[in-house]
Amino acid sequence: MKLWGGRFDKETDSLVNDFNSSIRFDARMYREDIAGSIAHATMLGEQGIISREETASIVDGLRAILADVEAGKVEFSEDNEDIHMNVETLLTQRLGAAGKRLHTGRSRNDQVAVDFRMYVRAEIPKIIDMLLKLESVLVKQAERNADAVMPGYTHLQRAQPVTFGHYMMAYANMFKRDITRFEDCLERMDECPLGAGALAGSTHPLNRNRTAELLGFSKPTDNSLDSVSDRDFAIEFLSACSILMMHLSRFSEEVILWCSWEFKFIDLDDAYSTGSSIMPQKKNPDVAELVRGKTGRVYGSLITLLTVMKGIPLAYNKDMQEDKECVFDAIDTVELCVPVFAAMLDTMTVRPENMYRAATGGFINATDCADYLAKKGMPFRDAYTLVGRLVNHCIATGKTLDTLTLEEYKGLSPIFDEDVFDALSLKTCVGQRKTIGGPAHDEVLRQIGVIKSFVEERAGK
Ligand code: ARG
């Protein structure tokens, strides 16, 4: 018979049993469920709602169940629907009457809300840690390649020269924001919904401050209806995961381009590449492609939960059981992607000579040519037009700004002088871009320093 059996004359249909139960996926919250129950029982005992002896036997019983689950000795049952009823049923089987008192002043609605929150709360530091490791890899690659000039692109057309170190720091800034987003999410979810009951609190003198404290929350949630119907923390978490995956996916796209023969800016390590079953020459960037592909399922999780929640009146509705699989899948996916992506970057070989070659032989220094004229007094818009004509001339004659003669330059404007060649060298173009955030050597070192101290601050915690 079900825990709720009293009101029912019939057994649940087996189809409904299967359909309704969530133990297949919520069993993974057994630790949180048991911890929540221990806190609840402890508080009930302290408040004199149940006896001290019963409290002690409930707490011992729950600890024993935890040990048995971890030792693989417990088989959860679909008949008990979810992790909450499975644990409670086990406890009652073992303790009899005392076990039946555990659920005093509690509902599965506040129970699942606290379990799920604690589960997500425990995963976030793991993800942050993985991201900090990724940041360290980016710092390492940036330091090594702070002077490796490469083309920067807009519209995937060569635009202005940057360095590989500068490029790595661009992504490091994205992941830094991701880390702080996860931290914000942790901070906002730091309120304990336990004690909200089914939806309207309890007539028992529960001490919600105490259960919050026992479970490591700063305070209890402030409204019981909101407590049991709120999944914002999970939506926020999935948003942070989605933005992170979007960053990883963009980076993956670049890695895939960079290791193509058309670019060859990098080579992935053999251990992080795969071959083809038919084409002997192939070395494929499967890791990056799979990360890019898996981004879709994480976005899917976010949309799933937003959609599940959008039409639900207060307070708990069974729809909300659909909150877990998507979050668990996003956690698994993110925790799978970040470490392998970091290792792939850590082991790649950078080809500065190919980057340099791609940055020369075109017109990547055209802005610098216009800036050269502007610095000599010509209005920038006029300089811009003049350089456009120069570029046209180069294209018509098969030259570049580096191979034009001084006479050709002077043919278009007498302002041009011998110093134009130095002004247009890649070394100058990159080295003089010293503005905050720019690719000049010292400025990139400063950017690296910011990321390093960001990582170190957190490593100390
Ligand atoms: N398995 C349920 C869930 O995950 C637990 C809460 C059930 N509450 C209820 N009133 N049926 O949402």
**Percent of the chain clearing pLDDT 70 (strictly above):** 99
* DSSP H or E run through 319: none
Burial of 376 (0-12, 13-18, 19+ CB in 10 A): middle
Q: What is the pLDDT of residues 400-442, one digit of tens each?
A: 998 999 999 999 999 999 999 999 999 999 999 999 999 999 9
Q: Put residue 2 in one of left, alpha, beta given phi > 0 → left and psi -120 to 50 → alpha.
A: beta
pLDDT at residue 273 above 80? yes
From atom 12 of ligand 1, which residue's Cα is the shortest distance away?
321
Query: Which pLDDT tens digit goes with each residue over 145-162?
Result: 999 999 999 999 999 999
- pLDDT beyond 90 at 5: no
Question: Which pLDDT belongs to residue 1?
Answer: 65
Q: Ligand 1: distance of its center to the CA of 181 in Å?
A: 29
* Ligand 1 site-directed mutation target among 80, 112, 119, most atoms within 8 Å of CB: 112
Select from 305, 318, 328 the residue to mutate for testing ligand 1; criterion: most ligand atoms less than 8 Å from CB. Answer: 318
Residues 6+ apart with CB under 8 A from 381: none
Amino acid 272: pLDDT: 86
In tens, the pLDDT along 88-140 reads: 999 999 999 999 999 999 999 999 999 999 999 999 999 999 999 999 999 99
CA-wise closest residue to 131 among 350, 455, 407, 457? 455
CA 108 to ligand 1 center in whole angstroms: 6
Distance separating alpha carbons of residues 377 and 106, to the nearest angstrom: 78
- Best mutation site among 7, 29, 109 for ligand 1, i.e. most ligand atoms within 8 A of its Cβ? 109
Nearest to 105 by CA among 39, 203, 4, 35: 203
Annotated catalytic residues are 155, 276
Q: Please report the atom of ligand 1 found closest to the CA of residue 82.
A: 1
Residue 66: CA count within 13 A, CB half-sphere: 15
As a whole number of angstroms, the distance between CA 421 and CA 266 comes to 29
Q: What residues does ligand 1 touch, defined as CB less than 6 Å away?
A: 22, 26, 82, 108-109, 112, 316, 318, 320-321
From the alpha carbon of 26, which atom of ligand 1 is closest?
Answer: 4
At residue 296, the 3 state secondary structure works out as helix
Identify any residues that bridge with 284 across adjacent strands, giving them in sequence order.
274
How confident is the model over 304-341, as pLDDT tens digits? 999 999 999 999 999 999 999 999 999 999 999 999 99
The pLDDT confidence band at residue 26, using thresholds 50, 70 and 90, is very high
Distance CA 159, CA 441 (A): 19
The residues near 398 (Cβ < 8 Å, ≥ 6 apart) are: none
Q: How far is it, in rounded angstroms, from Cα 355 to Cα 193?
A: 54
**pLDDT tens-digit series, residues 390-410:** 999 999 999 999 899 999 999
Q: Is the pLDDT of residue 188 over 90?
A: yes
224-260 core/surface letters (b: 16 or more CB in 10 A; e: else): bebbbbbbebbbbbbbbbbbbbebbbebbebbbbbbe
CA of 318 to the centre of ligand 1 (A): 6
Counting runs of H as helices and runs of E as strands, what totals does the chain give? 20, 6
From the CA of 310, how far away is ligand 1's center (Å)? 18
Ligand 1 centroid to Cα of residue 305, in Å, is 16
Distances in Å between the Cα of 206 and the Cα atoms of 50, 74, 195, 379 are 11, 31, 7, 75
Q: 327 C-alpha vs ligand 1 centroid, how far in Å?
A: 16
Take atom 4 of ligand 1 and give the residue whose Cα is closest: 321
pTM: 0.94
Q: Is 349 helix (H, G, I), strand (E, B) or coil?
A: strand
Map residue 101 onto helix, strand or coil: coil
Q: List Cβ neighbours of 108 (8 Å cut-off, separation of 6 or more).
A: 82, 84, 85
Secondary structure class of 153 (helix, strand, coil): strand
**The predicted structure's pLDDT at residue 212:** 98
For residues 182 and 128, is the Cβ–Cβ distance under 8 A?
yes
- The secondary structure element, H or E, covering residue 357 is helix 352-359
DSSP, collapsed to helix, strand or coil, labels residue 105 as: coil
- Nearest protein CA to atom 3 of ligand 1, as residue: 321
Residue whose CA lies nearest to ligand 1 atom number 7:
108
For ligand 1, atom 2, the nearest C-alpha belongs to 321
